[in-house]
Structure 1
Amino acid sequence: MNVYCGLDWAENHHDIALVNEAGERLAKQRITDDAAGYKILLDLLVAHGDTPQAPIPIAIETSHGLLVATLRTGTRQVYAVNPLSAARCRDRHAVSGKKSDHGDALVLANILRTDMAAHRPLPQDSELARAITVLARAQQDAVWARQQIANQVRSLLRYYYPAALQAFLGKQNGLTRDDARIILTIAPTPARAAKLTTTQLQSALRRSGRSRGIEAEAGRLKEIFRGTYARHPQPVEDAMGLQLAALLLQLDAACTAADRLAQAVEEAFLKHPDAQILLSFPGLGVQLGARILAEVGDDPTRFVDARALKAYAGSAPITRASGKKTYVGRRYVKNHRLMHAGFLWAFASLKCSKGANGHYRRRRAAGDWHAAAQRNLFNRFLGQLYYCLQSRNLFDEHQAFASAA
């Protein structure tokens, strides 16, 4: 007799429901979110036929946390059911619209009983791949947080400090540069910046790690800071300087966190056996390659074919047909982190791959907009990546874009 388990999770407790093939509820239980509760869950599964050779599959609405890590030990299949899918299936069991934790656990168990083939279990990635996933996502979040704070600094500088924008925004990395943050820290107001001497500016540039062109850069900054600009009254300007100083503390912390996580990502990614395959693709560096690996994983059985990988990434178009009407458009339900990395990958490959650039140009000539052409190029790269990972071959541009000839 096959048994299926549904698990409705919460912060402090979890509800369990077990059903058989006929849909009869065999057991229900509420456990706490701690080691004692996890042991009760495992004992309950064993009592209903769970063995290492034939573990009971479990459906849950999350893929993270200690509970999921406990369930993923061994060969057990854990299905992370989308909460939207679970909500749609709830109406099949309670048309009145009632909702309860025990009822949701029962719905999840019945989803496995009736529609297991329509859901994908969590991949059996290696421990190194899971660690790369944690680090790559954390580094991506740190980069986004850094940019968000930098945008706040830029918005504030527009109100009272236009000289700082003129001095740093035209350079690479803008306000997140070390020299920009150091100089703005010692001169958070236009009045203090205008009083900086050449020696002070040179000293600040050296503290930021700069070793070349210090004299010329100091002269440029001095000329900009001593220019003529509109000014607020001094008390208002000083208050905005204090606000800028507070934002700079947050920006320094965000920059430090992003840099340290980037170093950790590089160390972990280069240890993975798939790293050399990913780095052989044009436009993929260590950080971007780690983000791709973090979302794709290293389980060779996760995707049955390249089309499944493309649908997961959202690069493959979706068709809606009804009667005489047919619509082909982009996917909205997808792995957004993988799609974000895909756009960066496609854009970076245009300068280092003639085949990728030619493919992009042909798509634009066919009528695609910039984003659509990039998405199509990313879709093609994913098919090639799937082949290279399955065959353990490096990327070969002559074979990848041979049809262009």
Structure 2
Amino acid sequence: MKSASNTANSTLLPEYAPNDVTAGIDWARDDHAACIVDGRGRKVATTMVEHTSSGLRDLVAVLGRHGVCEVAIERPDGPVVETLLAAGITVVVISPNQVKNLRSRYGSAGNKDDRFDAYVLADTLRTDRARLRPLVPDTEATVALRRTCRARKDLVAHRVAVANQLRAHLRNVLPCVVGLFAAIDSPIALTFLTRFDTQDKIDRLTVKRLADWLAKQGYSGKVDPAILHQRILDAPRGATGAHGTSQTPITAGYVALLRTLLAQIKELSTQINTQLDAHVDAHIFTSLPRSGRVRAARLLAEIGDCRAKFPTPESLTCLAGAAPSTRQSGRLRTVGFRWACDKQLRDAVVDFAGDSRRANPWAADLYNRAKARGHDHAHAVRILARAWLHIIWHCWQDGTAYDPEAHRALQRVLTQNRAA
């Protein structure tokens, strides 16, 4: 495997653009604006193409006629990027926030115009080559895993939202079911709501009838049926009679939607397991404490498998939003939250780091010391995430699993704990 320094050098752009031309593409949903500039920043050509297969072919043809080998664009994926890469064109990603700030170079109005943004992208690629890096895409296995993990995350968010809506609905029409079981979207809770969807039906339940029904459902909860029945009696009464019956379609709608979401989340979790098992880097991320399967898959998918993308641990921590943002002017120096980062990567890393402290004494010690210094929970977890990212980066670059025995900081904490 290449060293970090060699890897970093392999991702540098040449000092001068090939054929002395660069291009910028401002992508949109239906069409894309492209601009080509020469070595002095003069427009060579502009074009608009539709977001169709023929439109993308026309785009590649225009770029080819003008000898364009490098293109700047605002996003790292999608059909446009895939078409450019397939044509052998170097793609450089410049974020939308950067483009927004770069507009002031060319005028004070700051208006958004697709053709103008395409020019800004092309000219920035010409002038700022030393700080830009070409896009090196991840393998298809990583891209597929990333899309599956993000789809599952979206469905989980939908499930939480629908569960909250169901809970709010039940507080008005059937309060006794709220808090009856561990979770409102658990299988037993949804089955209960299917069978007992009105207060009148619930009123006919006795301790014995409830116990018999739970036994038929294979209820594995540790709460005695008598306690569950008492919860029903203690709760406010819900809607009865015709009014209660009129609310059952709403309850049934939420229940059906939650069942569908739970089934699809389970299906995607199975798919994630399969894709993770087939990935060459799976052993690195599954070796981390309390990484599990889905969490390990998310970390792998968001970090990717392109080692050249992160030549140093600092480059990874900055993109993940785990490194603080420092601002200094004269004697004034402030350190604040890093807003500009990869939000998906930060979410995956923070989720892992926050839970790792429950299984790793070093992580717990680092988190507790951060809390003792007065940091809140979120800040302490980011500090822990930054430390973990340095470890993950080294394991990732070397292709080795995390070994607690080789983690010297962990061993020092364990030694201190034994001495105490």
Question: 1:355-385 deviations in whole A, cap 9, x for unaligned?
Answer: 2112222222233222222111111111000
- The equivalent of 1:129 in structure 2 is 142
Task: Point out the more displaced range, 288-297 or 363-372.
Answer: 363-372
Question: 1:285-331 deviations in whole A, cap 9, x for unaligned?
Answer: 11001111111100010012000100000011111111111111221
Matches within 5 A, 1:74-89: 76-89=89-102
Distance 1:205 1:240, change over 3 A: farther
Pick one of 65, 68, 76 that aligns with 1:47.
Answer: 65
Pick one of 313, 316, 322 that aligns with 2:320.
Answer: 313
Distance 1:403 1:77, change over 3 A: farther
Say which SS state the counterpart of residue 326 (structure 1) adopts: strand
Say which SS state the counterpart of residue 176 (structure 1) adopts: coil
Check the 8 A contact 2:176/2:231 in 1, yes or no. Answer: yes
CA apart distance, 1:217: 5.2
Matches within 5 A, 1:178-257: 178-196=187-205, 198=208, 202=212, 206-207=216-217, 210=218, 212=220, 218=225, 220-226=227-233, 229-232=236-239, 234-257=241-264
Pick one of 162, 181, 186 that aligns with 1:177.
Answer: 186
Matches within 5 A, 1:283-294: 283-294=290-301
- The equivalent of 2:158 in structure 1 is 145
Backbone CA RMSD of aligned residues = 2.4
CA apart distance, 1:83: 1.8
Check the 8 A contact 2:163/2:258 in 1, yes or no. Answer: yes
- The equivalent of 2:167 in structure 1 is 154
Pick one of 24, 27, 46 that aligns with 1:28.
Answer: 46
Check the 8 A contact 1:269/1:290 in 2, yes or no. Answer: yes
Task: Point out the more displaced range, 356-365 or 14-23.
Answer: 356-365
Distance 1:206 1:41, change over 3 A: farther
Check the 8 A contact 2:35/2:122 in 1, yes or no. Answer: yes
Say which SS state the counterpart of residue 334 (structure 1) adopts: coil
Task: Point out the more displaced range, 92-101 or 28-37.
Answer: 92-101
Distance 1:88 1:360, change over 3 A: closer
Q: 1: distance between equivalents of 2:112 and 2:325?
A: 33
Check the 8 A contact 1:279/1:289 in 2, yes or no. Answer: yes
Q: 1: distance between equivalents of 2:102 and 2:130?
A: 15
Gaps of 5+ in 2: 1-18
Check the 8 A contact 1:179/1:205 in 2, yes or no. Answer: no
Paired residue type of 2:114: D
Task: Point out the more displaced range, 101-110 or 278-287.
Answer: 101-110
Check the 8 A contact 2:302/2:348 in 1, yes or no. Answer: no
CA apart distance, 1:399: 3.6
Task: Point out the more displaced range, 128-137 or 367-376.
Answer: 367-376
CA apart distance, 1:275: 0.8
Paired residue type of 2:295: L
CA apart distance, 1:239: 3.3
CA apart distance, 1:49: 2.2
Task: Count matched residues.
Answer: 393
Distance 1:70 1:291, change over 3 A: same
Distance 1:73 1:388, change over 3 A: same
- The equivalent of 1:63 in structure 2 is 76
Paired residue type of 1:80: V
Q: 1: distance between equivalents of 2:374 and 2:221?
A: 46
Q: 2: distance between equivalents of 1:178 and 1:133?
A: 28
What is the TM-score when the length of structure 2 is the normalising length? 0.86
Check the 8 A contact 2:199/2:239 in 1, yes or no. Answer: no
Paired residue type of 2:264: A
CA apart distance, 1:264: 0.8
- The equivalent of 2:360 in structure 1 is 353
CA apart distance, 1:10: 2.0
Percent identity over the alignment is: 29
Distance 1:58 1:213, change over 3 A: closer
Pick one of 368, 390, 395 that aligns with 1:388.
Answer: 395
Q: 1: distance between equivalents of 2:123 and 2:215?
A: 64
What is the TM-score when the length of structure 1 is the normalising length? 0.89
- The equivalent of 2:21 in structure 1 is 3
- The equivalent of 2:56 in structure 1 is 38
Task: Point out the more displaced range, 140-149 or 345-354.
Answer: 345-354
